[in-house]
Amino acid sequence: MPTSLAHHYHQALRDQDILHQLRTHYPDGPTLHQLAPLDQLHIGGIAASARLLGLLDPKSQHALDIGAGLGGLMRQGAAQGFHITGLDITHRFSALNQAISRLALSHHTAKAHHGKLRWVTGDACALPFAQTSFDAVLFQHSLMNMPDPARVLAECRRVLRPAGQLVMHEVVSGPHSEALRFPVPWAEGPTHSHLLSLSQLTQRLEASGFNLQHCKDWSHTALEWRTRQRQKEQAPRTAVLSPQWVFGERFMQMGKNLLENLANGAIHVVEISARC
């Protein structure tokens, strides 16, 4: 399972082309907004990441980003002073994340009050960290790839400190989940798509020892954002960076399906904050 899931994400990844593009177009180092078309691969982009980070307790110094991808959320959080460890099952994502972060940190605005970053390739079902290692755990469009959410949440509970925080910006199944169309960015087909309903997700959180503090359905705003993105993707232009540098030409169909899945209620997008 992990190998084939990693293959889904890296089969069209243009690692060296991306780094060459960044060095060529942003010789002084790319900013967070310049990187966003590449590393904010979730619904809502950089604004959604800001909302998610806004749920964190400012005292949460050390956070674990599970399913960190290319590191957009990590770098955005570090710019706010959080120390963030990014875990991803796709090693090429972790390596590229690290390389992009080094380039981004060369930008003069990225240096002040910057948190520390760490990159780990691993499986969320067996987190390679000691008990009570983190103040917070972040999920952004990643739990949906995990076939055993109970085990993942138990691992989160283990590595969190007492009163630690878990925050999520996740895709869940909507009222018309039977209408879900593939491919989507997180899966070519049903094999790697493990969407829970919102009620199932909150029940699993509570069963794992978390107390729900914040839960908001963000689907309407997500649909508006995805509609704007779809219009940009269809415009005849050559972008410096785009999701196609990660997913290849199949992203055009993925993006189309994502919009339709939001519009027809096959999926919803939610924000959640909970504590141990």
- Residue type at position 181: R
Give the pLDDT confidence score for residue 237 in this predicted structure. 73
What is the percent of the chain where pLDDT is above 70?
Answer: 96
Residue range 204-250, pLDDT digits in tens: 999 999 999 999 999 999 999 999 999 888 877 778 999 999 999 99
The average pLDDT across 157-166 equals 97
Backbone dihedral angles phi then psi of residue 275, each to the nearest 5 degrees: -125, 155
If DSSP states are collapsed to H, E and C, what string results for the chain? Answer: CHHHHHHHHHCCCCHHHHHHHHHHHCCCCCCHHHHHHHHCCCCCHHHHHHHHHHCCCCCCCEEEEECCCCCHHHHHHHCCCCEEEEEECCHHHHHHHHHHHHHHCCCHHHCCCCCCEEEEECCHHHCCCCCCCEEEEEEECCHHHCCCHHHHHHHHHHHEEEEEEEEEEEEEECCCHHHCCCCECCECCHHHCCCCCHHHHHHHHHHCCCEEEEEEECHHHHHHHHHHHHHHHHCCCCCCCCCHHHHHHHHHHHHHHHHHHHHCCCEEEEEEEEEC
The average pLDDT across 127-138 equals 98
Confidence of residue 108 (pLDDT cuts 50, 70, 90): low
**Does 264 score more than 60 pLDDT?**
yes
Give the pLDDT confidence score for residue 109 in this predicted structure. 60
Residue range 40-81, pLDDT digits in tens: 999 999 999 999 999 999 988 999 999 999 999 999 999 999
Query: Model-level pTM?
Result: 0.95
